[in-house]
Amino acid sequence: MPIFQKNIEYTPAILLSVIFYASFMPIYLNIGQNSPIRYILYIIPLLVLSEVILISNLRVNRVFIGVLIVFFMANVLRLGNGFIAIKEFIFISASLLMFTIHFKTHKITAILLVISTGIVALPGLSSLAALDTSAVFRSGSIVSESSFGLVAPLVGILFYTQRRYALFAVTLLISLLLFKRIAIGAVIVVILFDMAFHMGGRNLIAKSGIYRLCTGLLLGGALVFCLNSVVAYEMVSIILQKYLDVFVPPNEISSGRYFATLYFSDTISQQSSIITFLMGHGPGKSTFTLATLPELAETNFPLLHNDFLRISVDYGAVGVLLVVYALWRSLQGGRLVALTALYTVFMFMTDNVATYLLYWLALAFVLRCESVAQPQTAVQPMVNSDASTQAYAQ
Protein backbone atom coordinates (compact mmCIF):
# COMPACT_ATOMS: atom_id res chain seq x y z
CA MET A 1 0.00 0.00 0.00
CA PRO A 2 1.44 3.41 -0.94
CA ILE A 3 2.39 6.05 1.58
CA PHE A 4 0.80 9.47 0.98
CA GLN A 5 2.76 12.71 1.25
CA LYS A 6 0.78 15.43 3.03
CA ASN A 7 0.93 19.20 3.50
CA ILE A 8 3.19 19.94 0.56
CA GLU A 9 2.70 23.66 -0.04
CA TYR A 10 2.36 25.09 -3.51
CA THR A 11 1.90 28.59 -4.88
CA PRO A 12 -1.56 29.22 -6.33
CA ALA A 13 -1.99 31.21 -9.50
CA ILE A 14 -2.27 35.00 -9.37
CA LEU A 15 -5.92 35.70 -10.17
CA LEU A 16 -6.32 38.55 -12.63
CA SER A 17 -9.69 39.32 -11.09
CA VAL A 18 -7.95 40.07 -7.77
CA ILE A 19 -5.52 42.42 -9.50
CA PHE A 20 -8.46 44.09 -11.20
CA TYR A 21 -10.26 44.54 -7.86
CA ALA A 22 -7.19 46.12 -6.23
CA SER A 23 -6.67 48.41 -9.23
CA PHE A 24 -10.33 49.37 -9.57
CA MET A 25 -11.05 50.32 -5.96
CA PRO A 26 -9.16 53.67 -5.99
CA ILE A 27 -11.18 54.58 -9.09
CA TYR A 28 -14.46 53.34 -7.58
CA LEU A 29 -13.98 55.38 -4.42
CA ASN A 30 -13.10 58.64 -6.17
CA ILE A 31 -15.90 58.95 -8.72
CA GLY A 32 -19.43 60.21 -8.26
CA GLN A 33 -22.03 58.13 -6.46
CA ASN A 34 -24.20 58.03 -9.59
CA SER A 35 -21.45 57.19 -12.06
CA PRO A 36 -22.26 54.05 -14.11
CA ILE A 37 -18.61 53.01 -13.78
CA ARG A 38 -19.28 52.06 -10.15
CA TYR A 39 -21.47 49.19 -11.29
CA ILE A 40 -18.37 47.36 -12.51
CA LEU A 41 -17.91 46.33 -8.88
CA TYR A 42 -20.97 44.09 -9.22
CA ILE A 43 -19.35 41.86 -11.84
CA ILE A 44 -16.12 41.11 -9.94
CA PRO A 45 -17.59 37.94 -8.31
CA LEU A 46 -18.55 36.74 -11.80
CA LEU A 47 -15.00 37.46 -13.00
CA VAL A 48 -13.61 35.38 -10.13
CA LEU A 49 -16.04 32.57 -10.91
CA SER A 50 -15.11 32.61 -14.61
CA GLU A 51 -11.40 32.63 -13.88
CA VAL A 52 -11.62 29.77 -11.40
CA ILE A 53 -13.53 27.70 -13.97
CA LEU A 54 -10.83 28.39 -16.59
CA ILE A 55 -7.79 27.57 -14.44
CA SER A 56 -9.11 24.69 -12.33
CA ASN A 57 -12.04 22.41 -11.66
CA LEU A 58 -14.87 24.39 -10.11
CA ARG A 59 -15.75 23.31 -6.58
CA VAL A 60 -18.42 24.95 -4.45
CA ASN A 61 -19.31 24.99 -0.78
CA ARG A 62 -22.61 23.14 -0.52
CA VAL A 63 -23.71 25.02 2.59
CA PHE A 64 -23.14 28.43 1.01
CA ILE A 65 -24.74 27.42 -2.28
CA GLY A 66 -27.80 26.36 -0.28
CA VAL A 67 -27.84 29.66 1.61
CA LEU A 68 -27.48 31.58 -1.65
CA ILE A 69 -30.40 29.73 -3.25
CA VAL A 70 -32.63 30.17 -0.18
CA PHE A 71 -31.75 33.87 0.07
CA PHE A 72 -32.52 34.38 -3.61
CA MET A 73 -35.84 32.52 -3.53
CA ALA A 74 -36.98 34.16 -0.28
CA ASN A 75 -36.26 37.73 -1.36
CA VAL A 76 -36.44 38.00 -5.14
CA LEU A 77 -40.17 38.73 -4.92
CA ARG A 78 -39.79 41.19 -2.00
CA LEU A 79 -37.98 44.02 -3.79
CA GLY A 80 -40.65 46.61 -3.09
CA ASN A 81 -38.36 49.26 -1.60
CA GLY A 82 -37.28 50.84 -4.87
CA PHE A 83 -33.89 50.72 -6.54
CA ILE A 84 -32.23 50.59 -3.10
CA ALA A 85 -33.73 47.13 -2.57
CA ILE A 86 -32.38 45.85 -5.89
CA LYS A 87 -28.89 47.17 -5.12
CA GLU A 88 -28.73 45.63 -1.66
CA PHE A 89 -30.18 42.35 -2.95
CA ILE A 90 -27.44 42.19 -5.59
CA PHE A 91 -24.73 43.15 -3.09
CA ILE A 92 -25.64 40.37 -0.65
CA SER A 93 -26.13 37.78 -3.42
CA ALA A 94 -22.73 38.64 -4.91
CA SER A 95 -21.08 38.44 -1.47
CA LEU A 96 -22.57 34.99 -0.84
CA LEU A 97 -21.37 33.89 -4.28
CA MET A 98 -17.78 34.76 -3.34
CA PHE A 99 -17.89 32.40 -0.36
CA THR A 100 -19.59 29.70 -2.39
CA ILE A 101 -16.59 29.29 -4.69
CA HIS A 102 -13.51 27.31 -3.61
CA PHE A 103 -10.33 29.09 -4.73
CA LYS A 104 -6.94 30.18 -3.42
CA THR A 105 -5.14 33.45 -4.01
CA HIS A 106 -1.44 34.17 -4.38
CA LYS A 107 0.34 35.63 -1.34
CA ILE A 108 0.94 38.85 -3.30
CA THR A 109 -2.81 39.50 -3.01
CA ALA A 110 -2.38 40.96 0.48
CA ILE A 111 0.29 43.38 -0.78
CA LEU A 112 -1.96 44.47 -3.63
CA LEU A 113 -4.76 45.23 -1.17
CA VAL A 114 -2.39 47.27 0.99
CA ILE A 115 -1.27 49.29 -2.03
CA SER A 116 -4.87 49.84 -3.08
CA THR A 117 -6.02 51.03 0.34
CA GLY A 118 -2.86 53.13 0.66
CA ILE A 119 -3.64 54.98 -2.57
CA VAL A 120 -7.14 55.72 -1.31
CA ALA A 121 -5.68 56.96 1.99
CA LEU A 122 -3.20 59.41 0.42
CA PRO A 123 -5.57 62.43 0.62
CA GLY A 124 -5.72 61.80 4.35
CA LEU A 125 -2.10 62.97 4.69
CA SER A 126 -3.02 66.57 3.89
CA SER A 127 -6.17 66.38 6.03
CA LEU A 128 -4.15 64.98 8.92
CA ALA A 129 -1.58 67.78 8.63
CA ALA A 130 -4.33 70.42 8.80
CA LEU A 131 -6.09 68.95 11.84
CA ASP A 132 -5.20 68.74 15.48
CA THR A 133 -5.09 65.32 17.13
CA SER A 134 -8.39 65.73 18.93
CA ALA A 135 -10.16 66.59 15.68
CA VAL A 136 -8.83 63.43 14.05
CA PHE A 137 -10.49 61.28 16.68
CA ARG A 138 -13.72 63.28 16.65
CA SER A 139 -14.56 62.76 13.01
CA GLY A 140 -15.03 59.40 11.37
CA SER A 141 -15.62 60.49 7.81
CA ILE A 142 -13.37 63.41 6.90
CA VAL A 143 -12.18 61.58 3.79
CA SER A 144 -15.03 60.83 1.40
CA GLU A 145 -15.82 57.15 0.87
CA SER A 146 -13.71 56.24 3.91
CA SER A 147 -15.50 52.88 4.13
CA PHE A 148 -12.50 51.36 2.36
CA GLY A 149 -10.63 52.02 5.61
CA LEU A 150 -12.47 49.00 7.02
CA VAL A 151 -10.66 46.75 4.53
CA ALA A 152 -7.11 47.63 5.61
CA PRO A 153 -7.47 46.00 9.08
CA LEU A 154 -8.65 42.76 7.43
CA VAL A 155 -5.33 42.58 5.61
CA GLY A 156 -3.61 43.68 8.81
CA ILE A 157 -5.07 40.74 10.73
CA LEU A 158 -3.66 38.41 8.06
CA PHE A 159 -0.21 40.01 8.46
CA TYR A 160 -0.54 39.76 12.25
CA THR A 161 -1.21 36.01 12.12
CA GLN A 162 1.80 35.67 9.78
CA ARG A 163 3.96 37.72 12.21
CA ARG A 164 4.64 40.35 9.57
CA TYR A 165 4.31 43.14 12.08
CA ALA A 166 5.76 45.96 9.97
CA LEU A 167 3.09 45.44 7.31
CA PHE A 168 0.50 45.11 10.09
CA ALA A 169 1.53 48.57 11.35
CA VAL A 170 1.17 49.97 7.81
CA THR A 171 -2.47 48.82 7.65
CA LEU A 172 -3.19 50.57 10.96
CA LEU A 173 -1.65 53.77 9.58
CA ILE A 174 -3.87 53.50 6.51
CA SER A 175 -6.96 53.16 8.71
CA LEU A 176 -5.83 56.23 10.68
CA LEU A 177 -5.42 58.25 7.47
CA LEU A 178 -8.93 57.21 6.47
CA PHE A 179 -10.16 58.27 9.93
CA LYS A 180 -11.74 54.91 10.82
CA ARG A 181 -11.50 55.06 14.60
CA ILE A 182 -13.71 52.05 15.15
CA ALA A 183 -11.57 49.92 12.85
CA ILE A 184 -8.43 50.65 14.87
CA GLY A 185 -10.26 50.03 18.14
CA ALA A 186 -11.66 46.75 16.82
CA VAL A 187 -8.18 45.56 15.79
CA ILE A 188 -6.88 46.25 19.31
CA VAL A 189 -9.70 44.11 20.73
CA VAL A 190 -8.93 41.40 18.17
CA ILE A 191 -5.27 41.27 19.27
CA LEU A 192 -6.24 41.05 22.95
CA PHE A 193 -8.69 38.28 22.04
CA ASP A 194 -5.92 36.43 20.21
CA MET A 195 -3.56 36.73 23.16
CA ALA A 196 -6.21 35.46 25.57
CA PHE A 197 -7.59 32.52 23.60
CA HIS A 198 -5.24 31.65 20.75
CA MET A 199 -2.03 32.15 22.74
CA GLY A 200 -0.21 33.70 19.80
CA GLY A 201 -1.25 30.92 17.45
CA ARG A 202 -0.92 27.89 19.74
CA ASN A 203 -4.70 27.57 20.18
CA LEU A 204 -4.40 26.15 23.70
CA ILE A 205 -7.77 27.49 24.81
CA ALA A 206 -9.54 28.21 21.53
CA LYS A 207 -11.18 24.77 21.35
CA SER A 208 -12.35 24.66 24.95
CA GLY A 209 -15.84 25.01 26.39
CA ILE A 210 -14.80 28.28 28.04
CA TYR A 211 -13.94 29.68 24.64
CA ARG A 212 -17.30 28.68 23.16
CA LEU A 213 -19.09 30.21 26.14
CA CYS A 214 -17.16 33.49 25.83
CA THR A 215 -17.77 33.78 22.10
CA GLY A 216 -21.46 33.08 22.70
CA LEU A 217 -21.65 35.80 25.35
CA LEU A 218 -19.77 38.20 23.11
CA LEU A 219 -22.16 37.69 20.22
CA GLY A 220 -25.17 37.83 22.51
CA GLY A 221 -23.96 41.06 24.07
CA ALA A 222 -23.33 42.63 20.65
CA LEU A 223 -26.82 41.64 19.52
CA VAL A 224 -28.54 43.01 22.64
CA PHE A 225 -26.59 46.26 22.39
CA CYS A 226 -27.45 46.80 18.73
CA LEU A 227 -31.13 45.98 19.06
CA ASN A 228 -31.37 48.33 22.06
CA SER A 229 -28.76 50.91 21.06
CA VAL A 230 -30.93 53.93 21.92
CA VAL A 231 -31.18 52.81 25.54
CA ALA A 232 -27.48 51.88 25.59
CA TYR A 233 -26.34 55.35 24.47
CA GLU A 234 -28.62 56.97 27.04
CA MET A 235 -27.16 54.78 29.80
CA VAL A 236 -23.59 55.69 28.80
CA SER A 237 -24.50 59.39 28.92
CA ILE A 238 -26.05 58.99 32.39
CA ILE A 239 -23.03 57.05 33.71
CA LEU A 240 -20.59 59.69 32.46
CA GLN A 241 -22.58 62.45 34.12
CA LYS A 242 -23.09 60.57 37.38
CA TYR A 243 -19.60 59.23 38.00
CA LEU A 244 -17.34 61.60 36.04
CA ASP A 245 -19.48 64.74 36.23
CA VAL A 246 -19.22 65.09 32.45
CA PHE A 247 -22.32 65.55 30.36
CA VAL A 248 -22.09 64.20 26.83
CA PRO A 249 -25.39 63.96 24.93
CA PRO A 250 -26.24 60.47 23.61
CA ASN A 251 -26.24 61.77 20.04
CA GLU A 252 -22.68 63.04 20.41
CA ILE A 253 -21.49 59.82 22.02
CA SER A 254 -22.88 57.86 19.08
CA SER A 255 -21.71 60.29 16.35
CA GLY A 256 -25.30 60.91 15.30
CA ARG A 257 -26.48 57.30 15.48
CA TYR A 258 -28.74 57.96 18.49
CA PHE A 259 -30.93 60.55 16.77
CA ALA A 260 -31.21 58.57 13.52
CA THR A 261 -31.95 55.28 15.28
CA LEU A 262 -34.60 56.90 17.51
CA TYR A 263 -36.64 58.23 14.58
CA PHE A 264 -36.00 55.12 12.54
CA SER A 265 -37.22 52.73 15.28
CA ASP A 266 -40.38 54.77 15.90
CA THR A 267 -41.22 54.71 12.19
CA ILE A 268 -40.58 50.98 11.75
CA SER A 269 -42.56 50.05 14.86
CA GLN A 270 -45.68 51.58 13.29
CA GLN A 271 -45.33 49.30 10.24
CA SER A 272 -44.48 46.04 12.01
CA SER A 273 -46.44 42.82 12.41
CA ILE A 274 -45.78 39.21 13.41
CA ILE A 275 -44.80 38.38 9.83
CA THR A 276 -42.35 41.27 9.55
CA PHE A 277 -40.92 40.39 12.96
CA LEU A 278 -40.13 36.88 11.69
CA MET A 279 -39.25 37.54 8.03
CA GLY A 280 -38.56 41.28 7.91
CA HIS A 281 -39.77 43.99 5.56
CA GLY A 282 -37.61 42.92 2.63
CA PRO A 283 -34.21 44.01 1.24
CA GLY A 284 -33.42 47.71 1.47
CA LYS A 285 -36.23 48.64 3.85
CA SER A 286 -33.87 50.23 6.40
CA THR A 287 -32.03 52.35 3.85
CA PHE A 288 -35.26 53.29 2.09
CA THR A 289 -36.83 54.44 5.38
CA LEU A 290 -33.82 56.55 6.35
CA ALA A 291 -33.85 58.19 2.93
CA THR A 292 -37.52 59.16 3.22
CA LEU A 293 -37.66 60.37 6.84
CA PRO A 294 -38.09 64.18 6.83
CA GLU A 295 -36.55 64.41 10.32
CA LEU A 296 -33.25 63.12 8.89
CA ALA A 297 -33.26 65.09 5.65
CA GLU A 298 -30.51 67.46 6.80
CA THR A 299 -28.43 65.09 8.93
CA ASN A 300 -26.57 63.37 6.05
CA PHE A 301 -27.22 59.98 7.66
CA PRO A 302 -28.15 57.71 4.71
CA LEU A 303 -27.27 54.43 6.44
CA LEU A 304 -28.07 53.10 9.90
CA HIS A 305 -24.53 52.15 11.03
CA ASN A 306 -25.99 49.18 12.90
CA ASP A 307 -26.08 46.02 10.82
CA PHE A 308 -27.75 43.81 13.41
CA LEU A 309 -30.67 46.24 13.56
CA ARG A 310 -30.72 46.55 9.76
CA ILE A 311 -30.88 42.77 9.35
CA SER A 312 -33.65 42.47 11.94
CA VAL A 313 -35.73 45.03 10.03
CA ASP A 314 -34.96 43.79 6.51
CA TYR A 315 -34.84 40.03 7.13
CA GLY A 316 -36.49 39.55 10.51
CA ALA A 317 -35.64 37.30 13.42
CA VAL A 318 -34.86 34.45 11.01
CA GLY A 319 -32.20 36.52 9.27
CA VAL A 320 -30.67 37.66 12.56
CA LEU A 321 -30.43 34.10 13.90
CA LEU A 322 -28.77 32.86 10.70
CA VAL A 323 -26.20 35.68 10.74
CA VAL A 324 -25.41 35.20 14.44
CA TYR A 325 -25.03 31.45 13.92
CA ALA A 326 -22.69 32.01 10.96
CA LEU A 327 -20.55 34.42 13.00
CA TRP A 328 -20.46 32.04 15.97
CA ARG A 329 -19.38 29.12 13.76
CA SER A 330 -16.68 31.31 12.23
CA LEU A 331 -15.40 32.17 15.70
CA GLN A 332 -14.96 28.43 16.29
CA GLY A 333 -12.83 28.10 13.15
CA GLY A 334 -9.12 28.55 12.57
CA ARG A 335 -7.16 31.46 13.95
CA LEU A 336 -7.43 33.76 10.92
CA VAL A 337 -11.12 32.96 10.39
CA ALA A 338 -11.92 33.54 14.08
CA LEU A 339 -10.07 36.87 14.27
CA THR A 340 -11.62 38.27 11.09
CA ALA A 341 -15.04 37.09 12.32
CA LEU A 342 -14.55 38.96 15.59
CA TYR A 343 -13.51 42.08 13.69
CA THR A 344 -16.63 41.71 11.53
CA VAL A 345 -18.82 41.55 14.65
CA PHE A 346 -17.56 45.00 15.66
CA MET A 347 -18.16 46.29 12.14
CA PHE A 348 -21.73 44.99 12.33
CA MET A 349 -22.20 46.96 15.54
CA THR A 350 -20.96 50.29 14.23
CA ASP A 351 -20.99 50.34 10.43
CA ASN A 352 -22.83 49.06 7.36
CA VAL A 353 -20.65 46.20 6.09
CA ALA A 354 -23.62 43.90 5.49
CA THR A 355 -24.08 45.58 2.11
CA TYR A 356 -20.45 46.62 1.45
CA LEU A 357 -19.55 44.30 -1.41
CA LEU A 358 -16.03 45.74 -1.40
CA TYR A 359 -15.65 44.51 2.21
CA TRP A 360 -16.77 40.93 1.50
CA LEU A 361 -14.63 40.71 -1.63
CA ALA A 362 -11.57 41.73 0.39
CA LEU A 363 -12.46 39.30 3.20
CA ALA A 364 -12.81 36.42 0.72
CA PHE A 365 -9.43 37.24 -0.81
CA VAL A 366 -7.76 37.55 2.61
CA LEU A 367 -9.11 34.23 3.90
CA ARG A 368 -7.82 32.50 0.78
CA CYS A 369 -4.27 33.81 1.23
CA GLU A 370 -3.41 31.11 3.76
CA SER A 371 -0.94 28.34 2.93
CA VAL A 372 -2.25 25.80 0.46
CA ALA A 373 -1.79 22.04 0.75
CA GLN A 374 -0.93 20.12 -2.38
CA PRO A 375 -3.36 17.28 -3.17
CA GLN A 376 -2.04 14.02 -1.79
CA THR A 377 0.20 12.07 -4.16
CA ALA A 378 1.04 8.42 -3.92
CA VAL A 379 4.65 7.42 -3.27
CA GLN A 380 5.58 3.79 -3.74
CA PRO A 381 7.40 2.28 -0.76
CA MET A 382 11.00 1.16 -1.18
CA VAL A 383 11.48 -2.55 -1.66
CA ASN A 384 12.88 -3.99 1.53
CA SER A 385 13.00 -7.57 2.69
CA ASP A 386 12.70 -6.55 6.29
CA ALA A 387 9.19 -7.56 7.41
CA SER A 388 8.90 -4.81 10.01
CA THR A 389 9.76 -2.10 7.46
CA GLN A 390 7.16 -3.46 5.04
CA ALA A 391 4.56 -3.53 7.80
CA TYR A 392 5.32 0.11 8.63
CA ALA A 393 4.89 1.03 4.96
CA GLN A 394 1.55 -0.78 4.88
C-beta of residue 371 within 8 angstroms of C-beta of residue 239: no
Q: Compare 277 and 373 and report the one with higher pLDDT.
A: 277
Which pLDDT belongs to residue 35?
A: 84
pLDDT at site 377: 40
Residue spans of alpha helices (H) in 33-164: 44-55, 62-75, 82-100, 108-121, 123-130, 133-138, 151-161
Does residue 312 surpass a pLDDT of 60? yes
Q: What is the mean pLDDT of the segment spanning 211-225?
A: 92
Strand partners, 101: 60
Spatial contact of 294 and 267, defined as CB atoms under 8 Å apart: no
Residue 319's pLDDT band (boundaries 50, 70, 90)?
A: very high
Residue 32: helix, strand or coil by DSSP?
coil
Residue 388 has pLDDT above 70, yes or no: no
What are the two backbone dihedrals, phi and then psi, of residue 7, each rounded to the nearest 5 degrees? Answer: 55, 35
H or E segment and range at residue 258 = helix 257-269
Reported confidence tier of residue 372, pLDDT bands at 50, 70, 90: very low
Q: What are residue 3's DSSP bridge partners? A: 379
**Secondary structure of residue 3 in the 3-state scheme:** strand
Question: Is the pLDDT reported for residue 376 higher than 50?
Answer: no
pLDDT band at 102 (very low <50, low <70, confident <90, very high): confident
CA-CA-CA-CA torsion for 375, 381, 382, 385, nearest 10 degrees?
170
CA–CA gap between residue 185 and residue 299 (Å, rounded): 25
Q: What is the pLDDT of residues 13-34, one digit of tens each?
A: 678 898 999 999 888 887 877 7
Calpha distance 184→172 (Å, rounded): 7
Across the range 115-132, mean pLDDT stands at 72
The burial class, CB within 10 Å (0-12 / 13-18 / 19+), for 310 is: buried
> Residue 169 pLDDT more than 90?
yes
Of 145, 136, 224, 201, the closest CA to residue 173 belongs to: 136
Question: Which pLDDT does position 128 carry in this prediction?
Answer: 57
Which tops the pLDDT comparison, 376 or 89?
89
Report whether pLDDT(220) > 90. Answer: yes
**pLDDT confidence band for 139 (50 / 70 / 90):** very low
264, containing H or E segment: helix 257-269
What mean pLDDT, rounded, does the chain reach?
A: 82
Separation of alpha carbons 42 and 64, rounded Å? 19
pLDDT at position 238 = 94
pLDDT average, residue stretch 226-254: 91
From 74, 76, 97, select the one nearest 86 (Cα to Cα): 76
Q: Give the span between the Cα atoms of 205 and 18, in whole angstroms.
A: 35
User: Are 369 and 209 contacting, i.e. CB atoms less than 8 angstroms apart?
Assistant: no
Where in the chain are the domains? 207-333
Check residue 179 and give its pLDDT.
78
Confidence at 383, pLDDT banded by 50, 70, 90: very low
pLDDT at residue 131 in the model: 54
Amino acid identity of residue 244, one-letter, is L
Which residues on adjacent β-strands are paired with residue 9?
373
State the pLDDT at residue 124: 66
Q: Is the pLDDT of residue 120 over 70?
A: yes
Q: Residue 225: which pLDDT band, with cuts at 50, 70 and 90?
A: very high
